[in-house]
Amino acid sequence: MRNMILRTAVIAATATATLGFAGSANAASATANATATIVQAITIAKTSDLNFGAIAPSATGGNVTVSTADTRTACTGGQFCSGTVTSAAFAVAGAPSYTYAITLPAAAVTLTRVSGTETMTVASASFGHSAGATPALSAVGAATFKVGATLAVGANQVAGVYNGSFAVNVDYN
């Protein structure tokens, strides 16, 4: 008799406990994965300066052009050009096989005479590089290219050494 009552009570208690457990499934958790890929930064370093060589000016002025092949391809206006010329050279490092873009000066670059105020200019449109239409880094993430330009020399330009600087930027495409 007493056993019977006890058994029934146990069943009722079990049912309540099961419902209570089901109630804890009100909450769920999930794992959200996240990924990010950081690509090696692209860097550029100058390895050679642009050098237009020695120029004996004329009465009319003229141009001197240095190509990306390190040759003087023009010396106009009756000037006399001599000496070694070099194009500017750059080394690029970055992620292997990625393509990149080169930005050459957007404005004219001015060269000023050392210990003087006289100037000459290199027109922005005259800058050109040797890296082709779609520059790309090699399989080991390296590239080099050269930059040439045309210097405009004034009539009877004052003799001296003229210096200037320009920036070349690279960025991934």
Partner 1 sequence: MMVTMRLFSHYPILIFAGISALPARAQTAPQPLIAVQLAQLQFPRIAIAGSGTGSVTINPASGAISSTGAIHVFSGTAAAATLQIIGVPGSLVSVRVPATGQLVSPSGQIISLQALTSTGQNGLRLNSVGLAQAKIGGTLPVTATTSAGIYRGRAIVAVDYVFE
Footprint on residues 44-83 left by partner 1 (CB under 8 A): none
Question: Do 45 and 59 form a contact (C-beta atoms < 8 A)?
Answer: no
What is each CA distance from 87 to 45, 92, 130, in whole angstroms? Answer: 14, 16, 10
- Binding-site string for partner 1 from residue 3 to residue 42, where x marks contact by CB under 8 A and - marks none: -xx--xx-xx--xx--xx-xx-xxxxxxxxxxxxxxxxxx
What is the C-alpha separation between 65 and 71, in angstroms, rounded?
8
- Binding-site string for partner 1 from residue 112 to residue 141, where x marks contact by CB under 8 A and - marks none: ------------------------------
CB of 12: closest distance to partner 1 in angstroms? 4
Q: Of 13 and 159, which CB lies nearer to partner 1 in the complex structure? A: 13
- Can residue 93 be called a binding residue for partner 1 (CB under 8 A)? no
Under 8 Å CB-to-CB from 31, ≥6 apart: which residues?
none
- Can residue 95 be called a binding residue for partner 1 (CB under 8 A)? yes
CB of 90: closest distance to partner 1 in angstroms? 16
Q: Of 10 and 159, which CB lies nearer to partner 1 in the complex structure? A: 10
How many residues are recorded in the chain?
Answer: 173
| DSSP symbols for 101-151 | EEE--SSPEEEEETTS--EEEE-GGG-EESS-SS-B--TTSEEEEEEEEEE
Q: Which residues bind partner 1 (CB under 8 A)?
A: 1, 4-5, 8-9, 11-12, 15-16, 19-20, 22-23, 25-42, 94-95, 171-172
